[in-house]
Chain A
Amino acid sequence: QVQLVESGGGLVKPGGSLRLSCAASGFTFSDYYMNWIRQAPGKGLEWVSNINQYGSTIYYADSVKGRFTISRDNAKKSVYLQMNSLRAEDTAVYYCAKRESGDAFDVWGRGTMVTVSS
């Protein structure tokens, strides 16, 4: 079935780095934009970044620009989020999501928790 599975979350100190991965299955991965969306504890959804089918068009939220890098490997059906210079305010559950028509997110992973704390 259609599925996204995130991994790579954990506890990291401020200023540290982490690389998240999202493995896709059940659909033609190379046909779709992919996104990272996060949710801080008790807070709402915050879009982080997206990447087009070819990796040639990428957008970031201002809050992560210059610190986070999104990438994808269509052969491995995976999308990644390299997170550097992490801050306490980056603490959140990070979701991977597939973009459908109209900029809607029709498939979400279960999320991976990132905690930035000393």
Chain B
Amino acid sequence: QSVLTQPPSVSAAPGQKVTISCSGDSSNIGNNYVSWYEQLPGTAPRLLIYENNKRPSGIPDRFSGSKSGTSATLGITGLQTGDEADYYCGTWDTTLSVVVFGGGTKLTVL
């Protein structure tokens, strides 16, 4: 299983808001930056959030990130059917000296 824990799936209606959690410990999330990725079916992942809460250029402000202690959260507002994808959190693990990812969360926009 993954070092970082994410819910396997979340769902919400179009126009609504959803949050995806990512839980770790002091070796990873607790002392390092968290990033979030979106992966549409059949495509490479795309960076949504870096350094816990920063958005790269071109990422709409419907996407937001936060971190508290050893957990991080991705928020998506104004859900669209095009947001249906797998979402991953990632960070460096200082003890293991590796990058770790969450197991991924499948978002369904009902």
Contacts and interface: CB of A to CB of B under 8 A. Distances in A.
A61 B98 contact: yes
A31 interface: no
Contact of A104 (B2, B47, B100, B103): B47
Contacts of A104: 33, 35, 47, 50-51, 90
A45 interface: yes
A46 B101 contact: yes
A62 B93 CA distance: 13
B51 A102 contact: yes
A103 B92 contact: yes
B44 A101 contact: no
B61 to A, nearest CB: 18
B30 interface: no
Interface string A55-85: 0000111100000000000000000000000
Interface residues of B, number: 28
Interface in A104-118: 104-106, 108-111
A3 B86 CA distance: 23
A106 B102 contact: no
Contacts of B39: 45
Nearest to A4: B44
B10 interface: no
A34 B56 CA distance: 18
Closest 10 CB pairs of A and B: A102-B33, A104-B50, A104-B35, A47-B99, A102-B51, A108-B44, A44-B104, A45-B101, A103-B92, A106-B47
Interface of B: 2, 32-33, 35, 37, 39, 44-47, 50-52, 54, 56, 86, 88, 90-92, 97-104
